[in-house]
């Protein structure tokens, strides 16, 4: 059994349309799975559903999320949150807004260790310094005392990565962690996440719209369209030739770093029509 | 450096405001018809007596001369002598100030506790009936001024269910010699908790009356900024770290949401202090406001001037302090 | 999200009806006071002092809400008191609004030294405790209806000036104002035709709120015995009397207090309602 198992997860806007349609996916320990889709495909919602941070307007219709074999729905809200806090970490999208502006950086890294996992302050402090060093932050002791606004975006993303790995979580959910960064910084951060993941042998669910990123760090990937998993495969096979017409079209619509002159083709209309028909078929099956 | 400059600018503005207030009060009350001196003398006093007394209080000079003399005195801490009480204004005013300060601060504390609790509960139970109930209660509390709340409290807790005192500051039967005018503070320092309880039981009703509208304002604004903050990424991140919702609110959202509320509390606190005038009257509380109304009724010009200037001073100082606290609490401003 | 919001906003309609209904009732009561009041509000009958309201034991059915210590009918005094309260609300409210809004509009739109003078004045005004200021003014002007109205206008014009100034300032920076000027309109004309209509909803809402405040100020002044002549029926005067005899005759305090409470609440709810109604973002 994989560490994370999402089974037939269906979400909808309260009294509104579905936004996830029977999504199943799994991530093993040490595995990096990409979750790809256009914006609005619902890929961030999967991460939010796992973490328990869905907006109030969105409800779980059916499905199961298992963490290390434990069905999260069977836990009380408080216990569920504790479990998530102890085993899962999030690398957020926008490093500029993900650090509390009125608090120093140090406590924001150590607070989970001290408050949730019961570490001593000194141990947590030492661990934070060690992690900041691992993510190549110069002069970690000084950075720990700084306020977020004194640091650059790239620095802050490194801090958030350090903070995510600090508690040795079994699973990390990275929600478009490089989208908000400068292109030059993007590559470094990507490499950093990959290295950290390999070193700590963590399961990593990497949410992105960028197939180029997927090709660099993911072993497997799930392609999402309109809240439905269109394709679930390993990366090598996918880039050799995806099975689904939509995936193929998506791949053709992705710029290649190696060949800047390669002309891009948008996803053709008949492909979109075909996937839409699949989604409609699915909804009809559920009697919606 | 920038901070120093803005503080300096604020200080100058404060002085201008205070001077303006002094000018207005001084000239407004000198339009008073009726002769305050005549009221002080027994019937049958001669014109000579009146003239002598007027000279004594400086009322025989021109209005501008009076102003210059008075302002010169004020700068040196001399506010003149009360006509009706025949004591130096400064002594009288400083004697009553502690009572009003204690009342105002107690009211502020009550308002912050009630308003804060309402805001936190409303945020924790947002978009539920609980929040709607808090909104309706707050709306009511805000619509009705402290004067009316005072009367409602008198009826509820003074008459219907008499648990609190509704007049005075301390029970006359209490055998206790206060060394200062800060009764509440002193009773704690001298560990006389019986005295303290008696004082609180006198102050609680007027303080609550003053606090109700402010509590509603705090609840409204703090809840609004808390709810805005709850959508921010660092709050979501704290949730994923395993904190229960209540501590996410108090640890992550509150420190950021407090700043705008703080500025507002400053302005509103001056309104609250202004409210003590009528509330003290309503609860026969021996403070500055009660003395002020007596002074107006007795046409005691020096005393009125002294009290109004003191109020103006308190108001401007409170605003100044709030601005500085705001700057000190906001790390982005502090390092700018 | 949308659902939650509409359920939370639903009570506003009911609140507006209730408060509008109360104010209408009060206006009718005030206008027809001589017809409906069961007694002369000034008539004293010392033998019928402190009679409880009809549903309490030992009441005289002639006095629906009981009598005060001088034997005056509480209901009649409340009805006549409404006349003074509403007159003050209307006249003082409108005058305060006209003066305050005009100054605010000029300060916010013309800016420059006019703004500086007006803003500085507002600052100075903010340094006075309003109740004390009002009492002081009445002491200077003498008691009477005109004095009360002047006092309210003098204290409260800043409330309008502050808000209207801020609104006029934001409106003044909008593109449509600039284009009106480019089209050759004068500055004064632009202020009246472009700025004023946009600020008007705020002014109307404030005016309603101000009427409630005026009622309260009048009540406070009569409470400290500085309103109009001392035996005239005023809510504040009745409350002052009720306060001293609250342990012997609660009704002397309760009924005028309820009336005052509902009136102030209604005006304020009407004001809030108008604000919401005119707010295009909320509507």
- The domain that holds B279 is classified in CATH as 1.10.3720.10
Q: Report C:1-40 residues touching A (Cβ under 8 A).
A: 1, 3
Note whether B65 and B100 are same-domain residues.
Answer: no
- Mean pLDDT is highest, among A131-140, B11-20, C10-19, for A131-140
What is the C-alpha separation between C180 and C187, in angstroms, rounded?
A: 9
Size of interface A-B (CB pairs under 8 A): 73
Task: Please give the pLDDT value at position B38.
Answer: 61
Would B22 be classed as within a structural domain?
A: yes
User: Which ipTM value was assigned to this complex?
Assistant: 0.88
> Could you read off the pLDDT of A213-252 as tens digits, one per residue?
888 899 999 999 888 888 898 888 888 877 787 888 888 7
Given an 8 Å threshold on Cβ–Cβ distance, is A15 in contact with C3? yes
Given an 8 Å threshold on Cβ–Cβ distance, is C124 in contact with B299? no
Task: Please give the pLDDT value at position B28.
Answer: 80
Note whether B59 and B32 are same-domain residues.
Answer: yes
Nearest by Cα to C264 from B140, B151, B135:
B140
Mean pLDDT throughout A166-180? Answer: 90
Residue B322's pLDDT band (boundaries 50, 70, 90)? Answer: confident
Residue C9, min C-alpha distance to chain A (Å): 18
B237 touches chain A (CB under 8 A): yes
Size of interface A-C (CB pairs under 8 A): 4
Task: Please give the pLDDT value at position C9.
Answer: 46
Task: Please give the pLDDT value at position B48.
Answer: 79
Contacts of B329 in chain A (CB under 8 A): 102
Sheet with A220-225: strands ordered across: A88-91, A171-175, A203-208, A32-37, A220-225, A228-234
- Say if residue A288's pLDDT is above 60: no
Q: Mean pLDDT, chain B, as a whole number? A: 86
- Say if residue B331's pLDDT is above 80: no
Q: How far is CA C170 from CA A69, B92, C158, C201, in A?
A: 58, 47, 18, 15
Task: Please give the pLDDT value at position C279.
Answer: 66
Given an 8 Å threshold on Cβ–Cβ distance, is C127 in contact with B16? no
Q: Mean pLDDT, chain A, as a whole number? A: 88
Residue A89, min C-alpha distance to chain B (Å): 7
- The domain that holds C130 is classified in CATH as 1.10.3720.10
Task: Please give the pLDDT value at position B2.
Answer: 65
Given an 8 Å threshold on Cβ–Cβ distance, is A84 in contact with B240? yes
Chain B residue with CA closest to C226: the answer is B297
Residue B159, min C-alpha distance to chain C (Å): 6
Chain A residue with CA closest to C2: the answer is A57
| Residue in C130, C264, C272 nearest the CB of B148 | C264
Report the neighbours of A using a cutoff of 3 or more CB pairs below 8 angstroms.
Answer: B, C
Given an 8 Å threshold on Cβ–Cβ distance, is B277 in contact with C120? no
Report the sign of the C-alpha dihedral through residues C272, C276, C278, C281, in that order.
positive
Residue B63's pLDDT band (boundaries 50, 70, 90)? Answer: confident
Would B245 be classed as within a structural domain?
A: yes
Note whether B67 and B140 are same-domain residues.
Answer: no
Domains of chain A: 4-286 (3.40.50.300)
Note whether B71 and B96 are same-domain residues.
Answer: no
Note whether B53 and B103 are same-domain residues.
Answer: no
- Owning domain of residue C260: 13-31+61-278
Would C265 be classed as within a structural domain?
A: yes
Contacts of B239 in chain A (CB under 8 A): 51-53, 81
Note whether B138 and B69 are same-domain residues.
Answer: no
- Owning domain of residue B53: 13-75
Contacts of A87 in chain B (CB under 8 A): none
Chain A residues in contact with chain B using a Cβ-Cβ cutoff of 8 Å: 51-53, 56, 78, 81-86, 88-90, 92-94, 97-103, 108, 111-112, 115-116, 147, 149-150, 160
- pTM (predicted TM-score): 0.86
DSSP per position, chain C: -HHHHHHHHTHHHHHHHHHHHHHHHHHHHHHTHHHH-SS-TT---GGGTTPPPTTSTT--TT-TT-B-TT--BHHHHHHHHHHHHHHHHHHHHHHHHHHHHHHHHHHHHH-HHHHHHHHHHHHHHHTS-HHHHHHHHHHHH-SSHHHHHHHHHHHHHHHHHHHHHHHHHHHHTSHHHHHHHHTT--HHHHIIIIIHHHHHHHHHHHHHHHHHHHHHHHHHHHHTT-SS-TTS--HHHHHHHHHHTTTT-HHHHHHHHHHHHHHHHHHHHHHHHHHHHH-TTT-
Number of domains into which chain B is organized: 2
Note whether B215 and B291 are same-domain residues.
Answer: yes
Q: Report B:174-233 residues touching A (Cβ under 8 A).
A: 232-233
Residue C281, min C-alpha distance to chain A (Å): 21
- Say if residue B320's pLDDT is above 90: no
Mutate to test the interface with C, among B266, B296, B306 (most CBs of C within 10 A): B296
Note whether B56 and B181 are same-domain residues.
Answer: no
- Say if residue B126's pLDDT is above 60: yes
Note whether B154 and B46 are same-domain residues.
Answer: no
Mean pLDDT throughout B107-121? Answer: 96
Would C5 be classed as within a structural domain?
A: no
> Could you read off the pLDDT of B256-284 as tens digits, one per residue?
888 888 888 888 898 999 999 999 999 99
Rounded to 5°, the CA angle B292-B298-B299 comes to: 85
Tell me if residue B164 falls in helix, strand or coil: coil
Number of domains into which chain C is organized: 1
Q: What is the DSSP letter of B249?
A: I
Mutate to test the interface with C, among B10, B19, B153, B155 (most CBs of C within 10 A): B155
Note whether B70 and B97 are same-domain residues.
Answer: no
Note whether B303 and B180 are same-domain residues.
Answer: yes
Contacts of B132 in chain C (CB under 8 A): 7-8
Would C2 be classed as within a structural domain?
A: no
Residue C189, min C-alpha distance to chain B (Å): 34
Would B171 be classed as within a structural domain?
A: yes
Note whether B22 and B168 are same-domain residues.
Answer: no
What is the C-alpha separation between A43 and A34, in angstroms, rounded?
A: 10
Mean pLDDT throughout A255-269? Answer: 65
Element of type H or E holding B250 = none
What is the C-alpha separation between B55 and B254, in angstroms, rounded?
A: 60
- Say if residue B336's pLDDT is above 80: no
C85 touches chain B (CB under 8 A): no
Mean pLDDT throughout A120-125? Answer: 94
Residue A160, min C-alpha distance to chain B (Å): 10
Mean pLDDT for back-to-back runs of 10 residues, chain C (283 residues): 41 79 94 87 80 80 82 90 94 96 92 91 88 86 88 94 90 79 78 84 92 94 79 88 87 93 93 76 49
Rounded to 5°, the CA angle C146-C149-C155 comes to: 135
Mean pLDDT throughout A258-277? Answer: 72
Would C118 be classed as within a structural domain?
A: yes
Task: Please give the pLDDT value at position A270.
Answer: 79
Residue B8's pLDDT band (boundaries 50, 70, 90)? Answer: confident
Least confident stretch, A197-206, B15-24, B171-180, C254-263: B171-180
- Say if residue B72's pLDDT is above 60: yes
What length does chain A have? 288
What is the C-alpha separation between B144 and B137, in angstroms, rounded?
A: 11
Would C41 be classed as within a structural domain?
A: no
Residue A17, min C-alpha distance to chain C (Å): 14
| Residue in C139, C246, C247 nearest the CB of B32 | C139
Mean pLDDT throughout A100-104? Answer: 89
Q: How many CA atoms lie within 13 A of B76 on its CB side?
A: 7
Would B4 be classed as within a structural domain?
A: no
Contacts of B316 in chain C (CB under 8 A): 127
Would B226 be classed as within a structural domain?
A: yes
Mutate to test the interface with A, among B237, B254, B259, B331 (most CBs of A within 10 A): B237
Mean pLDDT throughout B57-75? Answer: 80
| Residue in A83, A92, A101 nearest the CB of B237 | A92
Structure tokens at B110: 């009550």
B5 touches chain A (CB under 8 A): no
**3-state helix/strand/coil string of chain A:** CCCEEEEEEEEEECCCCEEEEEEEEEECCCCEEEEEECCCCCHHHHHHHHHCCCCCCEEEEEEEEEECCEEHHHCCHHHHHHHHHHHEEEECCCCCCCCCCCCCHHHHHHHHHHHHCCCCHHHHHHHHHHHHHHCCCCCHHHHHHCCHHHCCHHHHHHHHHHHHHHCCCCEEEEECCCCCCCHHHHHHHHHHHHHHHHHHCCEEEEEECCHHHHHHHCCEEEEEECCEEEEEEEHHHHHHCCCCHHHHHHHHCCCCCCCCCCCCCCCCHHHHHHHHHHHHHHHHHCCC
Report the neighbours of C using a cutoff of 3 or more CB pairs below 8 angstroms.
Answer: A, B
- Say if residue A253's pLDDT is above 80: no
Task: Please give the pLDDT value at position A183.
Answer: 83
- Say if residue A194's pLDDT is above 90: yes
Would C173 be classed as within a structural domain?
A: yes
Report the neighbours of B using a cutoff of 3 or more CB pairs below 8 angstroms.
Answer: A, C
Mutate to test the interface with B, among A51, A81, A84, A95 (most CBs of B within 10 A): A81
């Amino acid at each position: 059994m994989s560490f994370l198992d999402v089974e037939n997860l269906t979400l909808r806007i309260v009294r509104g349309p579905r936004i996830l349609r029977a999504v199943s996916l799994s991530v093993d320990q040490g595995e990096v799975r990409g979750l790809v889709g256009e914006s609005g495909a619902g890929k961030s919602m999967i991460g939010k559903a796992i973490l328990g941070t869905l907006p109030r307007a969105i409800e779980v219709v059916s499905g199961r999320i298992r963490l290390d074999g434990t069905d999260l729905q069977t836990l009380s809200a408080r216990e569920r949150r504790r479990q998530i806090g102890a085993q899962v970490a999030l690398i957020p999208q926008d490093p500029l807004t993900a650090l509390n502006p009125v608090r120093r950086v140090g406590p924001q890294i150590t607070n989970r260790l001290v408050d949730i996992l019961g570490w001593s302050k000194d141990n947590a402090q030492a661990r934070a310094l060690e992690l900041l060093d691992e993510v190549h932050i110069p002069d970690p002791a000084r950075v720990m005392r700084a306020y977020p606004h004194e640091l650059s975006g790239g620095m802050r993303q490194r801090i958030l990565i350090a903070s995510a790995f600090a508690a040795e979580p079994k699973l990390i959910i990275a929600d478009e962690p490089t989208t908000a960064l400068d292109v030059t910084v993007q590559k470094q951060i990507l490499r950093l996440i990959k290295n950290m993941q390999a070193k700590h042998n963590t399961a990593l669910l990497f949410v992105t719209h960028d197939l180029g990123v997927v090709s660099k760090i993911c072993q497997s990937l799930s392609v999402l369209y309109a809240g439905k998993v269109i394709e679930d495969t390993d990366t090598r096979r996918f880039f050799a030739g995806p099975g689904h017409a939509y995936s193929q079209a998506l791949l053709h619509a992705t710029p290649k770093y190696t060949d800047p002159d390669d002309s891009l083709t948008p996803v053709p209309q008949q492909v979109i029509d075909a996937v839409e028909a699949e989604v409609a078929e699915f909804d009809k099956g559920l009697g919606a | 450096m920038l901070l120093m400059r803005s503080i300096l600018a604020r200080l100058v503005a404060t002085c201008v405001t205070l001077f303006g207030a002094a000018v207005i009060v001084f000239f407004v009350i000198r339009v008073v018809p009726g002769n305050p001196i005549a009221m002080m003398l027994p019937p049958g006093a001669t014109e000579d007596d009146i003239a002598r007394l007027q000279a004594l209080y400086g009322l025989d000079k021109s209005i501008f001369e009076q102003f210059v003399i008075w302002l010169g005195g004020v700068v040196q801490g001399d506010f003149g002598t009360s006509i009706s009480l025949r004591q130096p204004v400064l002594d009288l005013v400083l004697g009553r100030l502690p009572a009003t300060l204690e009342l105002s601060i107690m009211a502020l504390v009550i308002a912050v506790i009630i308003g804060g609790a309402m805001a936190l509960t409303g945020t924790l139970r947002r978009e539920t009936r609980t929040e709607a109930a808090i909104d309706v209660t707050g709306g009511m509390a805000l619509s009705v001024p402290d004067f009316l709340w005072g009367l409602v409290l008198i009826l509820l807790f003074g008459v219907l269910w008499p648990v609190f005192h509704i007049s005075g500051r301390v029970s006359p039967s209490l055998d206790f010699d206060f060394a200062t005018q800060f009764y509440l503070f002193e009773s704690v320092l001298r560990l006389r908790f019986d005295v303290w309880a008696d004082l609180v039981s006198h102050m609680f009703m007027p303080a609550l009356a003053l606090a109700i509208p402010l509590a509603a304002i705090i609840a409204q604004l703090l809840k609004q900024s808390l709810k805005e903050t709850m959508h921010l990424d660092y709050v979501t991140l704290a949730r994923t770290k395993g904190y229960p919702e209540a501590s996410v609110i108090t640890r992550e959202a509150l420190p950021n949401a407090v700043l705008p509320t703080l500025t507002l509390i400053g302005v509103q606190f001056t309104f609250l202090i202004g409210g003590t005038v009528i509330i003290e009257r309503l609860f026969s509380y021996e403070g500055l406001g009660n003395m002020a109304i007596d002074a107006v009724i007795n046409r005691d010009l020096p005393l009125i001037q002294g009290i109004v200037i003191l109020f103006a001073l308190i108001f401007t100082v409170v605003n100044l302090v709030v601005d500085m606290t705001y700057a000190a609490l906001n790390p982005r401003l502090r390092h700018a | 999200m949308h659902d939650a919001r509409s359920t939370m906003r639903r009570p506003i309609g009911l609140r507006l009806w209730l408060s509008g209904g109360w104010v209408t009732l009060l206006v009718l009561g005030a206008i027809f006071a001589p017809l409906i009041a069961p007694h002369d509000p000034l008539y004293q009958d010392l033998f019928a002092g402190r009679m409880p309201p009809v549903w309490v034991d030992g009441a005289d059915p002639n006095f629906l809400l009981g009598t005060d210590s001088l034997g005056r009918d509480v209901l009649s005094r409340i009805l006549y008191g409404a006349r003074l309260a509403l007159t003050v609300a209307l006249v003082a409210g409108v005058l305060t609004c006209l003066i305050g809004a005009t100054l605010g509009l000029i300060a916010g739109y013309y800016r420059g030294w006019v703004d500086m003078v007006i803003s500085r004045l507002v600052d100075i005004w903010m340094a006075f405790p309003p109740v004390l200021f009002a009492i002081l003014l009445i002491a200077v002007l003498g008691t009477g209806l005109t004095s009360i109205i002047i006092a309210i206008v003098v204290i409260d014009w800043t409330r309008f000036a502050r808000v209207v100034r801020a609104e006029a300032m934001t409106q003044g920076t909008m593109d449509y104002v600039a284009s009106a000027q480019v089209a050759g309109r004068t500055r004064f004309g632009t202020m009246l035709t472009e700025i004023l209509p946009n600020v008007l909803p705020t002014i109307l809402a404030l005016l309603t709120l101000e009427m409630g405040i005026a009622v309260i100020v009048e009540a406070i002044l009569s409470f400290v015995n500085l309103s109009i002549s001392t035996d005239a029926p005023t809510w504040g005067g009745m409350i002052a009397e009720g306060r001293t005899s609250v342990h012997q005759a609660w009704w002397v305090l309760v009924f005028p207090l309820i009336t005052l409470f509902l009136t102030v609440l209604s005006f304020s709810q009407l004001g809030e309602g108008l604000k919401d109604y005119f707010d295009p973002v909320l509507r």
